[in-house]
Structure 1
Amino acid sequence: MLKNVFSPIKVGSKEAINRFVVPAMVVNYCNEDGTATEKYISYHEAKAKGGWGTIITEDYAVTPKGKGFTGIPGLWDDSQIEGHSKLTERVHQYDSLIIAQIYHAGRQTNHLVINDQPVAPSPIPCPVNQETPHELETEEVKELVAKFGDSALRAKKAGFDGVEIHGGHGYLIAQFMSLYSNKRTDEYGGSLHNRMRFPLEIIEDVKKKAGDDFTIFFRMSGDELVPGGRNIEDTKAMSILLEDAGVDVLNISAGTYGSMHGIIPPAAIEHGWITDFAAEVKKVVDIPVITVGRINDPLLAESVIKSGKADLVAMGRASLADPDLPKKALAGDFDEIVQCIGCLQGCVGKILEAKPAQCVLNPALGREAEIELNPAAEKKKVFVAGGGPAGLEAAIKASERGHEVHLYEKEDKLGGQFYLASVPPEKGEITSFIAWQKKQLKKNKVNIHLNTKLSQKIIDSEEPDTVILATGSKPIEMNIEGMEQAQLVNAHNVLDGNVSTGAKVAVIGGGLIGSETANHLANHGKDVTIIEMLSDIAVDEPASVRKFLLEELADKDVKILTDSKVKEFKEEELIVLKDDQEKSLGKFDTIVVAIGLKSVIDLEDSLEGKTEIIKIGDAVKPRKVLEAIYEGFDAGLAI
């Protein structure tokens, strides 16, 4: 079934065992001086163990002033070679190739990271970082060319199988290649040939220093997705020049910081959305081409290869969610694969907070060196109260370690609020993780009690050694004057299908739950108005996710009223306060309340002092699913 994606392929002077590629992704696991940590090495080693044919590391800065993030690796100094040699040694214990991506952030950094002014081909600020860069002098450009070559030589000495020159995503090389950011009139600006001079000189310098047999990948955006940026026809013309210069593999992506959704597409973007860019490039070159972009299933990868659109498939966030994806696919264990859901909470959200990357679905990410799933020294009877994501994860891990686990869920299905989160548009992939968790529960013989709320009576009768409270949270109820006149329902009941709404709906609360519920209703033909006390809605969503949510709400003519507080229902009309002025919004068929959540902890007090208690997830405090799953994972390991 997967014969194409599991076939070997020649990449320069090396051969990859299959077509699965881990592309470069910032994870911030290195020291600030660019040296490797055990965290960084173990993270890549896990992917090699998992069967990925080619692993491309995140950005190795060619100079400390070229860093875009504090925790990325570097090869700007010989002292960095030794630590990164340990990385290549560990990866080469398996059959994977490991390629060092070398780059300079250019204007896509800031003084907080590099303690200096960013540099660029022209003094035009990055639309995200908003710092005016220093315009590189011609001699400074030539100095940077040499730094790329020097870094490539260090990569070779460190044992890497090649380098990937990062000419995409709006970083320095891409800035030179694009009229969007390059307004120079010297030999490095103006015509396409002049704008390509910088990357072509870098390739020449790399080959001169590292040798003609050292494999060179080149990453570039097929379309920058910004006004005045490069499009696919520009990219095809440049690809011909790159192949002629000696590049062995082209890696075709999309976007710049000004179009971040192109670099890291959220769930709202369709699978394989830019495979046609790679297909177009393949028409004009004879070297292998890599595609990328929301490809999270090995069958999708096989389809792309079989259709001839690309030669290799990069599956970045898929490798974060499950580093063993190729190995599981080869064994035919498709329902064992943890599939990326495009939520961006950990892989992007944490990086934007200048923290190490995490993955909602893989709590072991970045902790591979720390976590050992050893059998429990003492087997215990463990009760888990709550079948949401935290409770399910705790039950899985505890049972894997040999404990007798009983999971109690008061509803008739598992998944909790994570299941409800799958109901709005573009969130359906969440169900794949719940299905995966349910399979693990069955495989590990967890005793599941649906329609059963864990009570003191059950605990007194069964005498568990440990109780994990994963009782979650419940909606905060609204209490305002005249509410008995309105048909009030909470967002949870709307999403789980327990209630139907009328044609005209007001959603009170524009946070994550309220905004997503409004989108769900609008996509099902309802006339929706969102009322939010704050000055904006969906502020707790990652930026790329929020962008598409707001676009959908606008497309469905959802009315959004911010800085507004519901005051009362008067003669069945909804009255709000905005700018200290009362305003009637008229009558609504249904009022959906989504004003927040509060923890459910009614069992805790009765257990105090009687048994070991571990409280996790929203039972501690209502937060996001990332915290819930991580706490469940850790609780299962702690018993």
Structure 2
Amino acid sequence: MSCAAFVPKYPHLSSPITIAGQTFENRMFSAPMGGTDITNDGCIGPKSTAFYELRAWGGAAAVTVSECMVHPATDGSHAYHLDESILNSLASATYTADAINRHGTVASLELSHSGMYAGTYMTDKTRQHEMHQWGPMDTVRPDGVEVRALSVEQLHEIAAAYGHVAGLAKRAGFRMLMIHGGHGWLINQFLSPYFNQRTDEYGGSLENRCRFAAEVLDAVREAVGPRFPIEFRLSGSELFEGGYDIDEGVRIAQQLESKIDLLHVSAGTYQRGFGKTHPSMFEDHGRNVYLAAEIKKHVNVPVATLGGLNDPAQMEEIIASGKADVVYMGRALLADPELPRKVVSGRDESIVRCLRCFTCMAERAATSTRRCTVNPLIGREMEGREVAPAATKRRVMVAGGGPGGLYAAYTAARRGHDVVLYEKEAEIGGVLKGEQAIDFKHEMFELAGTYELLAREAGVQIRCGVEVNPELVEAEAPDALIVAVGSEPLLPPIPGLSDPRVILATDYYQRVDEVGEGVVVLGGGLAGCELAVYLGKLGKKVTLVEMRDALAPDANVRHRPLLLEQVAAHVDARCGLRCVEVGEKGVTCEDANGQRVQIAADTVICALGQKPRADVAASLRNSAPFVRVIGDAGRVSTITNAVYEGYHAALDIR
């Protein structure tokens, strides 16, 4: 008697692919992402090993470790190095490759050189500016740092270094290598007519500009031999004036394809167009796929694509229609490392989607660690990737159905506890409900539904329309209470703020049809700026009023510049103004000198901040043997902190 064959929901995405004799279990690869505990001499620390292993455990067919700098003499970036003269260098690389390979995943290592941008990843940027910077030609960077031209002898030495490190990587157990030729790093600098204006055999014609890349690839092939996958990462277009476009990207690909086994088509440069190379929430998912699709028409090697991808249906279409042979994900596999396993097994409805909020990249820039807004395990994988059952089953009550409360309930249920979550509103979601009306933040709204699904599947009972008070806690007598009652709008005593034409930012989704053509948004924090941008994109005449001198100081360092670009394009932002009254024709403000400024408006939106529901939290603090206050109920903060605190509150119940 034979068993019925399992038919995957996404057959193209789930199908294997063989490249240079190496078979990959599916078409979903984990993109290069830098580790965190890089040692002073460039070894891969144990936290980084666990960081990469998590995506292998989650089912990615390949996991690429990023970035290994091949020539420290001309690239002093604080990144990985692979050098047999460094104690533990080869050993740490071997442990990392093994941790990836043992899950049926192909371990890959990205080989790179920063060129004139050495030290970009350093937390201390003054050290970067003190380095000798090397590039295709003598120049001065826009930030005033001098760059020296690499000599022909140095280029030969660097190409040989690529080969030497490639050989070490193969010895360590890596089964594929990615040569980074995009994003403004050294190889891209030679490919680019903007960066490379040399007059020798390495500059000028397309063939000459490709010469260094070709020499690097030849050195790598000699080191690893045949039937070993070599992947080349190329910006299909540099996406800025003076750089090469997609037509020249095609010709570069054709020039190099005979030396590679997989062409990885990305876009742009790290220094220009960051929010397009790593598509922000203001960009379409897959906004760079067109580059891979065009190049694939003109080459014979398999092509990989990436760029804000997190929807299995979209990725299935990319493979099925022949736009690419492989899809890469970075941030999406931080949000849900099990995304590939869920796709292959048909559980895609439980995928926790990346919000494209840049918390992960901002945290690395700020503290050299990683965090993910929706996944509290990221950066802390050594603490254990699976929730351990509790020794004793407890009765757990969770007050509040926002992101922190939902994740706390989900985690407690996974530990085997009997969990009931109460939400005073008719629907769960908390502050996330307000995001459903803003198209570029809709995934934040969807997050609540995903968390609810996960919680219910884990066994959580959810009771909406019930507010938790001391009497209810006393009646239910739980062993543990997690207080996640959130925050409420901050309403200063401004005359007229109770006018019916004033809409709270958190209520906008319920009053969309009431918004007129002329809108004043009071409050230039993150929430106010994002809502102002959305209304501006709808064609409203939007004035953003902020009493401080800067907008969105609460936005992270990666998201804020992109947000401010959107504000500049769609909103009339006025800093240094304090609203003193809301009237029939608009708002009255005062500047720093006390001068009155009138701003006309049909609708006023109040985004002046939130305050904790401290009175509710205080009333519940001593109502159970174990009580933990999390998220905005304790201090107004971020979704990231609410989820992280909810996760650990549930782990602390015993």
Q: Give the TM-score range, shorter chain.
A: over 0.9
Aligned residue identity for 1:311: D
> What corresponds to 1:175 in structure 2?
189
For the residue of structure 2 that corresponds to 1:429, the secondary structure is helix
Aligned pair partner of 2:114 in 105, 111, 116: 105
Q: 1:606 to 1:17 in 2, by over 3 A?
A: closer
Q: How does 1:153-164 map to 2 (within 5 A)?
A: 153-164=167-178
> What corresponds to 2:46 in structure 1?
38
Aligned residue identity for 2:309: I
1:65–1:118: 8 Å Cα contact kept in structure 2? Answer: no
Q: How many residues align?
A: 634
Q: Is residue 5 of structure 1 aligned with residue 13 of structure 2?
A: yes
**Could you tell me how far 1:25 is from its partner in structure 2?**
1.6
For the residue of structure 2 that corresponds to 1:18, the secondary structure is coil
Aligned pair partner of 2:93 in 79, 84, 87: 84
- CA deviation profile, 1:584-632 (whole Å, cap 9, x unmatched): 3244333222111111121333344453221211122111211111111
CA distance in 2: counterparts of 1:573 and 1:162, whole angstroms:
62
2:434–2:507: 8 Å Cα contact kept in structure 1? Answer: no
Aligned pair partner of 2:533 in 519, 524, 530: 519
CA distance in 1: counterparts of 2:436 and 2:73, whole angstroms:
42
**Could you tell me how far 1:525 is from its partner in structure 2?**
5.0
Aligned pair partner of 1:365 in 371, 378, 381: 378
For the residue of structure 2 that corresponds to 1:59, the secondary structure is strand
Q: 1:87 to 1:197 in 2, by over 3 A?
A: same
**Could you tell me how far 1:200 is from its partner in structure 2?**
1.1
CA distance in 1: counterparts of 2:517 and 2:403, whole angstroms:
33
- CA deviation profile, 1:176-206 (whole Å, cap 9, x unmatched): 1112212322332222222112111111222
Q: How does 1:169-248 map to 2 (within 5 A)?
A: 169-244=183-258, 246-248=259-261
**Could you tell me how far 1:136 is from its partner in structure 2?**
2.2
1:67–1:113: 8 Å Cα contact kept in structure 2? Answer: no
Aligned pair partner of 1:120 in 126, 135, 151: 135
Aligned pair partner of 1:73 in 53, 58, 80: 80
1:124–1:133: 8 Å Cα contact kept in structure 2? Answer: yes
Task: Tell which deviates more after alignment, 559-568 or 546-555.
Answer: 546-555
- CA deviation profile, 1:235-282 (whole Å, cap 9, x unmatched): 1111122123x2111100001121112221112211222222112222
Aligned pair partner of 2:477 in 463, 467, 483: 463
CA distance in 2: counterparts of 1:223 and 1:145, whole angstroms:
24
CA distance in 2: counterparts of 1:543 and 1:32, whole angstroms:
25
2:249–2:295: 8 Å Cα contact kept in structure 1? Answer: yes
Q: 1:98 to 1:66 in 2, by over 3 A?
A: farther
Q: 1:511 to 1:239 in 2, by over 3 A?
A: same
Q: 1:543 to 1:446 in 2, by over 3 A?
A: same
> What corresponds to 1:490 in structure 2?
504
For the residue of structure 2 that corresponds to 1:407, the secondary structure is strand
1:485–1:572: 8 Å Cα contact kept in structure 2? Answer: no
CA distance in 2: counterparts of 1:415 and 1:66, whole angstroms:
51
**Could you tell me how far 1:539 is from its partner in structure 2?**
3.9
For the residue of structure 2 that corresponds to 1:427, the secondary structure is helix
1:62–1:151: 8 Å Cα contact kept in structure 2? Answer: yes
CA distance in 1: counterparts of 2:342 and 2:72, whole angstroms:
39
CA distance in 1: counterparts of 2:540 and 2:274, whole angstroms:
31
CA distance in 2: counterparts of 1:574 and 1:137, whole angstroms:
63
Q: 1:68 to 1:520 in 2, by over 3 A?
A: farther
Q: How does 1:133-172 map to 2 (within 5 A)?
A: 133-172=147-186
Q: 1:506 to 1:326 in 2, by over 3 A?
A: same
> What corresponds to 1:577 in structure 2?
590
**Could you tell me how far 1:414 is from its partner in structure 2?**
0.9
For the residue of structure 2 that corresponds to 1:57, the secondary structure is strand
> What corresponds to 1:95 in structure 2?
104
Task: Tell which deviates more after alignment, 312-321 or 522-531.
Answer: 522-531
Q: How does 1:101-500 map to 2 (within 5 A)?
A: 101-110=110-119, 112=126, 116-125=131-140, 131-244=145-258, 246-256=259-269, 257-346=271-360, 348-371=361-384, 372-481=386-495, 487-497=501-511, 500=514
For the residue of structure 2 that corresponds to 1:107, the secondary structure is helix
**Could you tell me how far 1:458 is from its partner in structure 2?**
0.9
Aligned pair partner of 1:52 in 45, 60, 66: 60
2:309–2:329: 8 Å Cα contact kept in structure 1? Answer: yes
1:575–1:582: 8 Å Cα contact kept in structure 2? Answer: no
**Could you tell me how far 1:234 is from its partner in structure 2?**
1.3
**Could you tell me how far 1:210 is from its partner in structure 2?**
2.9
**Could you tell me how far 1:463 is from its partner in structure 2?**
1.8
TM superposition score normalised by structure 2: 0.91
Percent identical across equivalent pairs?
34
CA distance in 1: counterparts of 2:613 and 2:430, whole angstroms:
13
CA distance in 2: counterparts of 1:209 and 1:622, whole angstroms:
55
Q: 1:464 to 1:112 in 2, by over 3 A?
A: same
2:408–2:649: 8 Å Cα contact kept in structure 1? Answer: yes
Task: Tell which deviates more after alignment, 357-366 or 109-118.
Answer: 109-118
CA distance in 2: counterparts of 1:118 and 1:190, whole angstroms:
22
CA distance in 2: counterparts of 1:186 and 1:19, whole angstroms:
41
1:486–1:590: 8 Å Cα contact kept in structure 2? Answer: no
**Could you tell me how far 1:312 is from its partner in structure 2?**
1.0
1:380–1:403: 8 Å Cα contact kept in structure 2? Answer: yes
CA distance in 1: counterparts of 2:497 and 2:457, whole angstroms:
48
Q: 1:485 to 1:431 in 2, by over 3 A?
A: closer
Q: Where does the alignment leave 5 or more consecutive residues of structure 1 unmatched?
A: none
CA distance in 1: counterparts of 2:399 and 2:611, whole angstroms:
17
1:473–1:600: 8 Å Cα contact kept in structure 2? Answer: yes
For the residue of structure 1 that corresponds to 2:230, the secondary structure is strand
TM superposition score normalised by structure 1: 0.93
CA distance in 2: counterparts of 1:550 and 1:323, whole angstroms:
31
